[in-house]
Structure 1
Amino acid sequence: MQSSSRRAFLTGHRTERSPWETFLSRLQRVAEGHVYDFSTPVNSARLVPQQMQDVYHARSLCLEYGIHFALDGIPHASALADTPVLWVEPGNGMERYERLGPDDPRWFVQPGCFIGDLEQAGLPQFRDQPPHLTVAAWLADRSLCDWDAGDTAASGLVHALVLLADGTQANLGAFGVDSRKPLDNPRLQQMVPRLFELSGQAGAVAPDALWNARYRLDALKPIAGRTLNLSHLLLGHGGELGWVEWLVFDERLGQPVDRDYPDRFGTREASLNTDASTDQVIKGLFDPEGLFPSQAQRF
């Protein structure tokens, strides 16, 4: 019996491509980075982008074809074996990191930078962290970004530019009377008030408590002496809220996570908690399209 491809050759008719094949073909045509087809039964591929334009194209195509856009490299994340997925891990074209100025304590960091390089540069929050991880994977890892509730400023993160599922670029940073830049963005004009409303329903932030919810809503209720910063919502986000284009860290603020906290990775009964419905609302605010999968990373 002749194969469909041989029949197509003999008759002059081309075999119709599946949506997945069309998706991959279009992505390979526009991406400067490498695209790898894993040829699994449910369709899986990997993109190593070399520039942000690759990511923009991938986001648009994934949304068009109903394919999950998943950050690669997060330790202990779900394999997503039952859904079509494009795994994306920033390549060496996204590894730049540098001070904002000669004597500036702030560092501009792209998502493909390795944690080991940032530690050697003198950023203390990366001390004793896995050196082989990209900063994008580190930021998404809940166990590595596990600062006490209300103390997310210890991450040293002061700003982030995030690509949301609908293509919006969201500037997330310090927020207060003197800094309300996020509200210049129509999408964030809708999101931010709702996030503050949710934080008001979560109860008081207990000092020295663990934060046990999926997303760091405690970033909106910092402990005394800390500055409220919207970028801290991304700490431990699991790759579920958006794609980070770049970050800014302040070397004066960063502190390592306290790994000696009793039962930090056990039952976590002492931690402050919000219910799963709140997590679902936050996910829906950032990603109503469901482009970024819930990778179900455990602590």
Structure 2
Amino acid sequence: MATDHSDMPSPSRRAFLSGRRAQRSPWDDFLSRLRRGADGQVFDFATAAGSARLVPANMQDVYRARSLCLEHGVTLALDGIPASAALDDMPVLWVEPGAAMARHERLGPDDSRWFVQPGCLIGDLEAAGLPQFCDQPPHLTVAAWLADRRACDWDRGCTADSGLVHAMVLLSDGTQANLGAFGVDNRKPLDNLRVQAMIPRLFELQAGVQDAAEDGPEWAARYRLDALAPAQGQTVNLAHLLLGHGGELGWVEWLVFDQRAGRPADRAYPARYGNRPGPDAAAQARDEAIRQLFDPDSLFPAHSQLF
């Protein structure tokens, strides 16, 4: 004879009646807190390790996500990078800068510089006449383009050809680092104590790099330390350290590009890339030292893009 279960309390009701709550996993707790605090959209991929996507409505969503990821041991990864690693063996929040972060505009009527938010599409920048984005995938966000090592593969010392002038970057500890030209006439990066402490170590690491004549024109490392030893006539620019950074050093809040300084990107996409050997042991050690300077908390992925 069939048993009538209609009067039996559900598991959740039994837990309520007994005064016990159903136990939530650390991932469920993280996701719940993120959803309560975010104005943007949150999508759960329901994977074993924990994986979700945040499309932030504003920078406050990103600040909130950074804090929660750090607290819960969740990796904060930039979504949309070409050839990105799966990162399926760790809890990860993929953050996709969307239309709410897609503004791009000239700094002034006769100014060649453009203010650009991370969600701006490459196609929009090409249409605006910035030559460095010519023939690049139009659907990519500028944040994904900046993180892509193949797109930012200029010759050693030639990072100024990117036209990148400034970058505001959110670091793992919540510091906002204003990276830009650095020299006798421009000490802006020194306004930030965190960046001020990083600069001597960065120059120390750069001093250990072989001369271009010995090692060829290609930059065979993950992070563009050659930005600190630019070609003759160019200025040291700390923002250029982010070219091809893979989303591993910080979250880019906004960028400034000079339309006159950029050159067509097809010249920065040499066929040599696919046949190039990976970084040697010394370059790998420098890369890791740079990553530790920017992200000592290991908030961002260590290897977000296949080299």
Give your verdict on TM over 0.5: yes
- 8 Å CA contact retained: 2:39, 2:61: yes
The answer to whether residue 196 in structure 2 is matched with residue 189 in structure 1 is: yes
Distance in structure 2 (CA, Å) of the matches to 1:92 and 1:83 = 28
**What one-letter code is carried by the residue in structure 1 that aligns with 2:182?**
F
Deviation at 1:9, TM superposition (A): 4.8
Alignment match, 1:249:
257
Alignment match, 2:37:
30
Alignment match, 2:66:
59
Moved more, 285-294 or 18-27: 18-27
Distance in structure 1 (CA, Å) of the matches to 2:14 and 2:244 = 52
Query: Equivalent of 1:83, from 87, 90, 100?
Result: 90
Q: Secondary structure at the match of 2:275?
A: coil
Deviation at 1:274, TM superposition (A): 4.9
Matches within 5 A, 1:217-232: 217-232=225-240
The answer to whether residue 46 in structure 2 is matched with residue 39 in structure 1 is: yes
Distance in structure 1 (CA, Å) of the matches to 2:109 and 2:216 = 36
- 8 Å CA contact retained: 1:42, 1:84: yes
Cα RMSD after superposing both structures = 2.1
Distance in structure 1 (CA, Å) of the matches to 2:282 and 2:133 = 28
> TM-score, normalised on structure 2?
0.92
Aligned residues: 298
Distance in structure 2 (CA, Å) of the matches to 1:19 and 1:272 = 38
Distance 1:49 1:3, change over 3 A: same
Query: Equivalent of 1:139, from 122, 138, 146?
Result: 146
Query: Equivalent of 1:175, from 174, 179, 182?
Result: 182
For residues 11-51 of structure 1, give each alpha carbon's deviation from its aligned partner in whole angstroms, at most 9, with x where no partner exists.
45321222211111111111110011111111111100010
Deviation at 1:272, TM superposition (A): 9.9
Alignment match, 2:159:
152
**What one-letter code is carried by the residue in structure 2 that aligns with 1:177?**
V
Moved more, 91-100 or 257-266: 257-266
Distance 1:261 1:83, change over 3 A: closer
Matches within 5 A, 1:108-127: 108-127=115-134
Distance in structure 1 (CA, Å) of the matches to 2:273 and 2:29 = 46
Larger Rg: 2
- 8 Å CA contact retained: 2:161, 2:262: yes
Alignment match, 2:288:
280
For residues 227-284 of structure 1, give each alpha carbon's deviation from its aligned partner in whole angstroms, at most 9, with x where no partner exists.
2110000000000000000000000000124257452321359x99952111110000
Distance in structure 1 (CA, Å) of the matches to 2:244 and 2:144 = 9
Distance 1:60 1:166, change over 3 A: same
**What one-letter code is carried by the residue in structure 2 that aligns with 1:24?**
L
Distance in structure 1 (CA, Å) of the matches to 2:33 and 2:234 = 47
For residues 209-232 of structure 1, give each alpha carbon's deviation from its aligned partner in whole angstroms, at most 9, with x where no partner exists.
111101000000001121211000
Distance 1:33 1:123, change over 3 A: same
Structure 1 unaligned spans of 5+:
none
Q: Secondary structure at the match of 1:264?
A: helix
For residues 137-196 of structure 1, give each alpha carbon's deviation from its aligned partner in whole angstroms, at most 9, with x where no partner exists.
000000011101100000000000000000000000000011111112111121111001
Structure 2 unaligned spans of 5+:
1-7
Identity of aligned residues (%): 66
- 8 Å CA contact retained: 2:122, 2:136: yes
Distance in structure 2 (CA, Å) of the matches to 1:273 and 1:166 = 28
Distance in structure 2 (CA, Å) of the matches to 1:7 and 1:41 = 27
Distance in structure 2 (CA, Å) of the matches to 1:3 and 1:147 = 62
